[in-house]
Amino acid sequence: MNSYYGQIINLLAAGLLLLSFAMLGQRRILSLINLFMAQGAVLCASTAIVAFVTGQNHLYWSALITLLLKVLLLPAILHRLIRRLNIKWDVETLINIPTTMLIGIVLVIFSFNLALPISELAGTVTRSTLGIAMAAVLLAFLMMITRSKAVPQVIGFLSMENGLFFAATSATYGMPMVVELGIALDVLVGMVILGVFFFQIRERFDSLDIRHLEQLKED
């Protein structure tokens, strides 16, 4: 029975990694938000299954928070933002997409190699997914680096948080509730502040291209 649930968790983890790659390769902002929403849903489902398997009741709460925040609230805010800012696509990346993908694959191999000794030590049902969680973090980071517009960077940031959350669940059955609540609040507040920044940046430079911020450098 346990191995059956273990397989489902592995499947969901694979889905998470796939979604991370999809986000890395996606140019359109609208699709990016949808992918982010899907990633949140996968995360929510896997957390709920882990909670069911291990009987850790606080993980249900985590799953619920994930559902509310990452599947409903944040995508809604993002959708509203891009409507207000009138940007639905992002054509530019700093490095072209195939190259980015190749770097991503290297990162995944690196993460798996890295997670190997830790997974052997861990006694959780989810231990094999730690490498995927780390890969998700690094891929999200890579996405932040390669995008030149502000909104995809923010999505990358949020996705990185997803990866961290997944890593925490897979390595130790989640963080203490207080920490999780704190992080959830941080993400929410960060989103609000970044939303304000978007408008400020656009007002100042007539564009959301963060390359304009280079002008702020002191010579």
Partner 1 sequence: MPLSIHELLSIDWLIALVVAWLVIGLAGLLAPRNLSFVGKTLYPLGALVGLAVALVAFHALGETAEIAVLPMGLPDLPFHLRLDSLSAIFLLLLGAAAAGISIYASGYLRKGEGTAPGLQSLQYHIFLASMALVLLADDAYAFMVAWESMALSSFFLVTSDHRKPDIRRAGYLYLLIAHIGAISILLSFGVLQSSAGLGATQGAADYTFSHMRATGHDAFWASAAFGLALLGFGAKAGLLPLHVWLPEAHPAAPSPVSAMMSGVMLKTAIYGVLRVSFDLLHHPLWWWGVAVLALGLASALFGAVFSAVQSDMKRLLAYSSIENIGLLFVGIGLALTFQSFGMLTLAALALTAMLYHCLNHAAFKSLLFLCTGSVLHATRERSLGKLGGLIHPMPWVAWLALLGVIASAGLPPLNGFVSEWLLLQAFLFTPNLPHSYINMLIPVAAAAVALTAALAGYVMVKFFAIVFLGQAREESISQHAHDAGWLERAGLVWLAALCVLLGLFPVFVIEKLDFVTRTLLGAGVYETAGDAAHTQNWLLLAPISADRASYEPLVFLLMITAVVAATFFIVRRFWHGRLRRSAAWDCGFPLQTARMQDTAEGFSQPLRQVFEPFYRLTRDLPTSFDKAPLYRVVVEDHFWYWLYLPVARASEFGARMVAFLQQGRISIYLLYSFLTLVVLLFLVRG
| Residue 47 or 100 with smaller CB distance to partner 1 | 100
Helix spans in the chain (H): 2-25, 29-54, 58-66, 74-85, 97-121, 130-146, 150-172, 177-205
Q: How far is the CB of 72 from partner 1 (least distance, A)?
A: 28
Tell me the closest approach of the beta carbon of residue 8 to partner 1, in angstroms: 29
Identity of the residue, 54 or 148, whose beta carbon is nearer to partner 1 in the bound complex: 148
What's at 121, amino acid-wise? Answer: L
Minimum distance, C-beta of residue 14 to partner 1, in the bound complex (Å): 22
Calpha distance 82→151 (Å, rounded):
8
Contact at 8 Å (CB) between 67 and 122? no
Q: Taking the complex as a whole, how short is the minimal distance between the CB of residue 192 and partner 1, in angstroms?
A: 20
Task: Classify 16 in phi/psi space as left (phi over 0), alpha (psi -120 to 50) or beta.
Answer: alpha
- Cβ–Cβ contacts within 10 Å for residue 209, how many? 15
3-state secondary structure of 141: helix
Among residues 27, 18, 21, which one has the least CA distance to residue 152?
Answer: 27
Nearer to partner 1, 60 or 141 (CB): 141
Q: Decide whether 3 or 120 has the Cβ nearer to partner 1.
A: 120
User: Closest distance between partner 1 and the C-beta of residue 57, in Å?
Assistant: 33
Nearer to partner 1, 145 or 185 (CB): 145
| Site residues, partner 1 (CB under 8 A) | 94, 110, 113-114, 117, 138, 141-142, 144-148, 153, 210-211, 213-218
Give how far the C-alpha of residue 37 lies from the chain's centroid of Cα atoms, to the nearest Å: 10
Closest separation between CB of residue 217 and partner 1, Å? Answer: 3
Nearer to partner 1, 98 or 117 (CB): 117
